[in-house]
Structures are given as structure tokens and as C-alpha cells.
Chain A
């Protein structure tokens, strides 16, 4: 018998004038020791499922039908007092943002012991001992001391560990993790996911892992439920789902993944439109409006969750994938855009912008009146690179590595401490007048377009602002330009009169791109432009960026923490670590044959949406967390987390040297591979020839530069 079983669960949220049918007949089950992954776009009912189980629904929300059986007991029939005993005791939960779910005025030790005291009725001392025990279980370094810390004293990863500790304090039978790593860096994400898995095995719990990331779930879940518009549309075991998705929605999600596009060299598929409004869900199949295979009957009848076997079920009349749908099936060409189109390639020309030895320090000051400088955060330290015309340079790294600061320096939002930014024969870092003159030619596309648009302005005024400021043309020509831009980014002209909050995330990002384009720039610095978007919407924006690049011969500096997105869009990739550019080179070369240990680690850490690859990874990846940039490690800044670090790394900073004829550069004393024109198999870490004597260092550097 499964540990948790949801049978036809319906959840409704009553608003003032309407009712949202958040869950409409969700049927799921998890067995002890199993991990169930729940995936889907945002607004599809993933979190609502978790909250319905916990009975932690927002105001006006209630489970109105069905059963939620935990070990045979129906949770929907329990009173609020009985339910309080189930929460924290039988079911533990981890939330997305550990900072907002921890009480900032209590030490984490007390917060954990509070839950122990409530549920176990033990004394203060015993509860504290249990808290320390739990903290060591979740891999918190020096748990005795950490138990006395307040949440703000911990890093993001440690806070999430504390949250997991809280959820596990009473050894629940079921752990619900709602986007547990979305707010964390990739390197920390992997550590947290591994922790959840190891604890699951040790305690024999069942885990429900809710996420939007198909890569996260690939290596961690045994079974997956794909949700769409408040329903489960497909459910089966992980391998089957990735190998043979039957529901068009699942297939479309996979086709939107940037790594698929990068591998096949084709444009990404993007699901048009948005999920339906759940206050009045459509009568037929809920996905019909966005489905590339939809027939007239899909809009009239509602498909039930069925399948050839009970193991693999899907709700679709015309399923895709292996099993033939009907004998009469005829091959037709798709009417809508498909993923068969090749990625457009732009012409790469002369160098457009050259960055040399760029440095940015943020002073740390003390005292209110006489501000004394007591230190500096080294955000960007001696970074050099070139961006060519029509090229996309991707910049990747963990948060805090300085990639956003580089972007801000280029567009002039920050002043450089040292170094030069050469553009059109002038140095933008030193010459403020030059910066004013080229302002039109270098534009920034913000990560959060909503925050970057004045909420009190209509989109027409938002787009006209750059033209007004730069006094381009007269009013009529400005309006004409705005209308053209809206056409180019694929938005209806009627939407110009709307306010920013009336657009969806993807549409807002289009508006953001349109604004960056208004002054016809040569270079657009795009700072995490798709990281807040769902994968299906993300692909629309990426395709659009690519199309516009070819059309206008734009150059992009594409900043992202997501290597697969960067790889899809970029011609070259630069990897940053703690203010340093550690590796830069052609995208495929960096991706397939990395030189620097950090790049290798990032590649191993990033979850790939392929269960076979994910499960084979095991113990690779980067350990630990990013050191402070106030007092960065001496020598090579990555040495504190590097598997190949030697004493030399602490003494000397490795220079950026060539590792290939194709302009592949890296800064490492003990690189993963040697200079190699045709770049063979990367050597494993253990096989690197590590010089033990300082004398051998010169040889090592020489041989790499030779």
C-alpha cells in the first residue's frame, strides 16, 4: 500500500468575485522510500498539491473533494487540531526561500527544538540536544556552534540545511520539498539535492519533490507526475517519461529545453501562449489551445488519465511517442513552428568592444559622518575580453562572481576602479563624455523587466522614454518606431496602452527587449534575461533574441548562471569565478573540453534533463560555498574549492594563457588538459601531472603555453 495516496483531490480558492479551481481531480501516490517528482509550468497546481496535503492553503482555499490518504488515514477528515499533529510530525516540508521561512529573531537551534518540544513533549535540554543531532545529520559544519546562530548569520545553503533539519527533526514519514533549490546557486543546489536523497535512504522516507526544473528531477525522482492546469496530465517512472513522453505537453516541455537545441543545432520549440485561467477552465482538454496536435474534438471532450499500462498514464486523445496511435495515422507536416528549423547564424565581424584589465572594488565604509574606508569588496578583478560584431559572448558563474558587475560597468551604471573599456577608439572607463556619446549604442536588458519598468507608466511611454531622452525625431516618428518595435518582438500593437503588470513574464521580457532595441544599439548586455521564466516561455525569448541578432547584426553580452542557456545562445563563453575570468573560449570548446577545474565542476553540477546522465554523475561537482570577496583567497581564487589545488596555487596567481588555436584561454596552474589544437578527451582530475616541487612550476606553465 502506498504511504500517501491522493484520490481525485479537488481544491478551490474562493476569491471575492470568482473561484479558482486550483486542483481539479488530482490522483497521485508515493510509496515509502520513493521520490515522486512533480513538474509543470508555474501556475499549474504543483505547489497547490503540496499545500493541499499539508492543509496550508491560502485564504479562502479548501479541499472540496476527494481523499488524501496518509498511511490509510484520510487527512481531509481530520480536525484542525489533529492536522497540526500530522504537520511536522508525520509530514515535513521544505520551502523555496529559507530566509523568509525562518524566524529571524530566533536561533536556528531554538527553531528546531521548538518543533521537537511541541511534537515529542520533551524538555528544553533534550530538545536542544536533538536539534544539534539533526543539524549534524543535515551536514551542518560544527553543529554545536551553528545551533546558536541566527538565520542571517548563515549562508543560503546552510539556511536551507537548517530548514531541512527542522522538517526532519521528528523523523517524518513524508517529506515535501517545494522548489527546495530554486533560490540557491547551482553548486549548492547539487549539495542540497544530494543531502535530501541520502537522508531519504537513511530514514526510509517518501519524498515529494516539486520543481519546474526538468534537470533537477531527472536524477532524483523515481516517479514523475507532470501537471498542467490543476491536473496530472502524465505520470510514469522517470526513465520512461524522459525516453518516451506520451502527452504533447510533456513533449513540448522537453523540446523547449535549451540543451536540446544546442545539441541538435536547431531552434527551440516554444509552447505558444499561457496556461488557461483556472477560474473558468476550458471545457475540453485544457492544453488544447496551446497544443500543436490539437483536433476539433480536443476542445469538446475532456481526456481522462489512461494508458496501455497502469505504469504509464496520460490524459490525451492523440498521444505522441512510441505506441502507434491508430492504424490510419498519416504523416503530415506540422502547421505550427517546430524544432526542425536551424538556429540562425549571424555574421561575426570586427572587434566591437575591448575590455582590458577591468577592476571594480566596492569600498566598505564605517562611521556615519566621516566615512572611513575599512576594506573593499573585490567584485571584478583584472578581467579582459573582447566582444566582436554580431557575436554573443556568454558570461557564466555563480551568484557573486562579478558577472552582473561587468555588465553594469559596460553600460555605465557603475564606474570602473581601474582598467579600460575600449569602444570605437575611445575608453569608456576613463572618458565620461565618451560614455554619454555611446549611451545609445550599448543597452541593457534587465533580469526582471517588471522591476525595470515604471509601474505607473503605460508601455507606450516606457518604450518612448529612451527616444524622448535622446530627443530622437518628432512625436509621430517616435510613435511609429515604437509600433514597429512591438511588431518585431511579436506583441500586438493594442497592448501598447497597457501597464507593465498587465503582461505575463514572457511578454514583459519581450517589452524589455523592445526597449533595449529602441535606440538601435550595437551591443545589448542581457543580464539573466530568462532566468525568471518558465522553460516553455524561456525558449520564446531566446529564439526572439537570436532572430533579432541576425536581423540587426547585434552583439550580445549574455550573462547567466545557467550554462545550458548560455551554450544555446552563445558563440563564445566566458566563465567567471569570484571576480576573475578563469576561462574563455568558443562555446563548444568550453563545453566539451573545459580546461579549468571550475568550469568542469560547473558542467558536472548543472542538472541535465536526462536520467541516465544524471544518475551516472554521482560524486562529481564543486564542493563548499563561494568564499567572501572582501578577503579573497590569495593566488588562484578557486583554490579553496579546487580538487587539484597545490601550495603553488596559494602563492601565485595563474595567468590567462592559450589552450587552443581557436582562442580558448584559461587561468590554471594545473589544467585539465594541455594545449591542444584538436582538443582530445579531457583528462580526469586524478591523472593530471601534478608537480610536487616548486621548481617544476615553470615547466608546467611553459609546457602549457608552448
Chain B
């Protein structure tokens, strides 16, 4: 060891060679998540479908104007034609325009109610899981009590008392569908609170609110986002069901479920254009959100991410 060749000719090793600097630029967790997501072709297709449907619902009315206000006895239940690409309904109103407005309404209610469910559910679950003990037990028993109650009765009651405006429906669907997310986030919180980084934060003197905001919620975000997509799909579906059984939005506002309800009344008379379009849009929205949710679940699984 003492006898050596002259080392002066040896080049200095670079930081990259020594592994001290990674050759590639550091990428954020979301950029790597996107990579995994983009590998799921079905999810990409779903994303495109969703964008197209949203464009149809929100931007469509700017480019296409049909008669949706004046009852026109001459035009009732006309089959699709150049003047009415999707025909007309029993009042002679243009169905394409109605479908656009119905899609926008369904998405509005679905997104708003889904987000309410996600936010309320995540916070409630994070607090219950982190607190543990009797508070956790109490909070979860409350959830159990809600879940054991047939919600349809509650909805009928709320609808009768508070009316059937868009806001009421958002609130009632939102505040009755957060239980699932709560349970999942609570489970995550139970697992996260025993991690060393939570212990480290406590040791530095970190308080509970800080730990929930900085450590529990960000690490439960994967679960939350995935389930938000599912809860949006569920909310769209719930609204359709409510409208279908006549508990949906007050006329003249109609959502996809309401349109479908009207359509099915005339289905036996062969007015297919009043049935299939709203049904297809409902199915497409729900399927797209569900597939995207699945792909997001993979994307947030760090093990599948590449550096």
C-alpha cells in the first residue's frame, strides 16, 4: 500500500460518477406519477372522452342554438334531422341543446358533490385516525349510524323540506356520500401516524394540527384523489337516479337522469333518440371517472414509479 504508482495522472472522478449527483434532473412526484398514468392507454382514452364530454356540455351551447324555451306543437317528437340533429321531445324542444345543458348540469352537481364528499371525508378520517382512542371510536360510530340509515328516506325528506334546487342537491349528495372516503383515509392515517417521520415531528415539538396538515393529509392524498374520482362518478350516478325517480332537479332545469326519465316514457313508441344519447353520456362519464381513478391509484403507488 505504501508503494504506489504516481497518481497525478489520474483524472478526478466527477460527482456524477460517484453517484453524489444524479445525472438526470430531479423530477417531482407528480411528473413521475403522470408517466405511470400515461402508460395506461385506456385511462388516456377516458381522459379524452371526459374532456370531449365536458366540452360538449359547457362549450357546446356557444356553437349550437336550438329551441329549448318555446313549446312548439308542430315539432313534437321529431326524429333526428338537419334542423334538429338529435330530434325533438314531446314538447317540440330541441334535444341536442337539452342534452348539452343536461350534461353540464350533471357534471356541475357531480363535481361539486364529489369534492365536498372528498374534502369532508378526508378531514374527518384524518382527524379520527390520528386522534385514535375514544374520539376515533365515537367518530366512526357516528359514520356507522349514518350508513345504517336508508338514505333514500333522508333524501326524500330533505327534498320536500328544502326544495330541489341545484344547490340543495349538491349539498345533500355531497354530505351523504363521504363515508367511504372517511374510512379509507382513517385507515391511512392509522398507518401513517406510527411512521418515524411523525415521531420525528412530534419530537421537534410539532402539534397535532401541523402533523395532520403536513404529514397525514399529504401522504393520504393518493387515496383521497383516487376516491374523489370515484365519488364524482357516484355523485353523477346518484343525481341521475334521483332525477329518474322524480326526486331530481326542479323543471325546467334537467340533468341527464331527468332526460333519460322523459325518454323512457316514450321508449315504447320508438323514440330512440330520447333514450340512447343521455344513457350513453351517463355511462361514458361514470366509466371514464372510474378508469381514471384506477389509473391514478397506480400512479400514486410509488413502487411503480421510475426515477
Contact = CB atoms under 8 A, between A and B. Distances in A.
Interface of A: 16-17, 251, 272-276, 282, 288-290, 292-296, 298-299, 318, 320-321, 324-326, 329-332, 334-335, 411-413, 436, 439, 443-444, 446, 448, 451-457, 465-466, 469-470, 491-492, 494-495, 497-499, 501-502, 504, 507, 515, 519
B164 interface: no
B199 A453 contact: no
Nearest to A491: B20
Nearest to A18: B306
A454 B4 contact: no
Contact of A411 (B9, B196, B203): B203
Given A439-B204, A452-B200, A290 B13 contact: yes
Q: Which of B5, B204, B302 has its CB near the most chain A CB atoms (within 10 A)?
A: B204
Contacts of B307: 502
B161 interface: no
B73 interface: no
B3 A331 contact: yes
Contacts of B204: 439, 465-466, 469-470, 519
Interface stretch (B87-95, B148-156, B211-219): B211-219
A296 B306 CA distance: 34
Interface in B185-218: 195-197, 199-206, 210, 214-215, 218
Interface in B142-173: none
B252 interface: no
Given A273-B20, A439-B203, A324 B13 contact: no
Contacts of B302: 455, 501
B7 A436 contact: no
A14 to B, nearest CB: 14
Interface in B61-108: none
B218 to A, nearest CB: 4
A413 B199 contact: yes
B18 A290 contact: yes
Contacts of A455: 219, 302
B214 A454 contact: yes
Contacts of A469: 201, 204-206, 210
A391 to B, nearest CB: 22
Contacts of B29: 456, 499
A609 to B, nearest CB: 17
8 contacts: A295-B9, A331-B3, A334-B4, A335-B7, A469-B206, A469-B210, A492-B21, A499-B26
A280 to B, nearest CB: 10
B10 to A, nearest CB: 5
Interface in B1-40: 1-11, 13, 15, 17-22, 26, 28-29
A439 B203 CA distance: 7
Top 5 closest pairs, chain A to chain B, by CB: A273-B18, A274-B19, A452-B196, A289-B17, A466-B204
Contacts of A331: 2-4
Contact of A332 (B6, B22, B197): B6
A436 B205 contact: yes
B196 A329 contact: no
Given A251-B1, A331-B4, A454-B218, A274 B18 contact: yes
Nearest to B218: A456
B219 A454 contact: yes
Contacts of A275: 19
B221 interface: yes
B1 A320 contact: yes
A296 B10 CA distance: 5
A268 to B, nearest CB: 15
Contact of A293 (B5, B15, B221): B5
Interface of B: 1-11, 13, 15, 17-22, 26, 28-29, 195-197, 199-206, 210, 214-215, 218-219, 221, 302, 306-307
Given A456-B29, A502-B307, A515-B200, 20 more contacts: A16-B306, A251-B1, A293-B4, A293-B5, A329-B4, A330-B3, A330-B4, A332-B7, A413-B199, A436-B205, A439-B205, A446-B200, A452-B196, A453-B200, A454-B218, A465-B206, A492-B20, A492-B21, A504-B19, A507-B20
A274 B16 CA distance: 10
A497 B15 contact: no
Contacts of B202: 413
A498 B196 contact: no
A321 B210 CA distance: 57
Contacts of B2: 331
B193 to A, nearest CB: 12
A194 to B, nearest CB: 35
Contact of B197 (A439, A451, A507): A451
B141 to A, nearest CB: 12
A519 B200 CA distance: 13
Nearest to A368: B137
A470 B221 contact: no
Given A289-B13, A320-B1, A502 B26 contact: yes
A321 B4 CA distance: 11
B291 to A, nearest CB: 21
A494 B23 CA distance: 13
A453 B197 contact: yes
Nearest to B134: A369
Contact of B3 (A324, A436, A494, A501): A324
A466 B2 CA distance: 47
A295 B7 contact: yes
A361 B14 CA distance: 52
A654 B206 CA distance: 42
Contact of A295 (B5, B201, B306): B5
Contacts of A443: 203
A213 B21 CA distance: 28
A274 B19 CA distance: 5
Given A331-B2, A499-B26, A502-B307, A296 B203 contact: no
A307 to B, nearest CB: 18
A504 B1 CA distance: 30
Contact of B22 (A290, A321, A448, A502): A502
A651 B4 CA distance: 64
A495 B22 CA distance: 9
